[in-house]
Amino acid sequence: MAVRERRRVLVRRYSLFERVVHWAVAITFVYLMLSGLALFWPPFFWFAHVLGGPALVRIVHPYVGIAFIVALLVMLGIWAKDMVLDRLDIEWLKAVPRYATGQEEGVPESGRFNAGQKLLFYTQIVAGILLLLSGIVLWFPMQFTAGLRQASFIIHDLMAIIAIGALIVHIYMGLFYIRGSLQGMVEGVVSRAWARAHHGRWYRQVEGTSAVITEEAHD
């Protein structure tokens, strides 16, 4: 039987380090979300039992918060240069209605990240920092005034709602709207077609470099 040879072209999107940092942020955030909901919203109190009991959750939540912020700041360090909004990003934002309805015409090509991803990233960074600052006040309440404690409660809840909302959009985009994204964050590579279709400017930058890998597949 004749052996058919196919060539599969993949593009390296995330290094191992970037993926480890991303999943550290994701896992710590999901723990914080579940334990936070358990502690502060009675309908979700049963989550506390799933996570090892209310007393344990109360102790562990702030420490995981510290791990989250450390991972988030490392993420900021490695991706800051790719997250700068440029002129074409502004054009992209103006074309959001067309992007959201699946019309490609008139939507400028994106760099490594599109403007929507960049804005979501800044939202998570700002929310993360405010969650940390307000969380420190709630962690050591006796060290702060009653006014600051009350303000911190409101800020912590508000930022948690914003961060969870941003995560829901992020997961929907990454898993369901833009198919093939998850492979990038799990295996580190995406198909060439994906790279061209969703991040055309980025693809042209890496084209011709070792980021583009050609695999021979036989069947």
Which position among 170, 198, 199, 218 bears the catalytic label? 170
Strands (E), 17-94: none
> Does position 120 bind ligand HEM by CB under 6 A?
yes
Q: 40-75 burial string, b = 16+ CB within 10 Å, else e? A: eeeeeeebbeebeeeeebeeebbebbeebbebbebb
Residues 122-151 that bind ligand HEM (CB under 6 A): 124
> Does position 170 bind ligand HEM by CB under 6 A?
yes
Q: Which is nearer to ligand HEM, 19 or 149 (CB)?
A: 19
> Does position 50 bind ligand HEM by CB under 6 A?
no
Residue pair 115/86 in contact by the 8 Å Cβ criterion? no
> Does position 203 bind ligand HEM by CB under 6 A?
no
Can you tell me the distance from the alpha carbon of 49 to that of 67, in angstroms, rounded to the nearest whole number?
22
Q: Which helix (H) or strand (E) holds 179?
A: none
Residue pair 26/76 in contact by the 8 Å Cβ criterion? no
Instruction: Tell me whether residue 170 is one of the annotated catalytic residues.
Output: yes
From 185, 206, 211, 212, residue interacting with ligand HEM (rule: CB under 6 A)? 185
From 31, 47, 92, 121, residue interacting with ligand HEM (rule: CB under 6 A)? 121
Name the site residues for ligand HEM (rule: CB under 6 A). 13, 22, 25-26, 29-30, 113, 117, 120-121, 124, 167, 170-171, 174-175, 181-182, 184-185
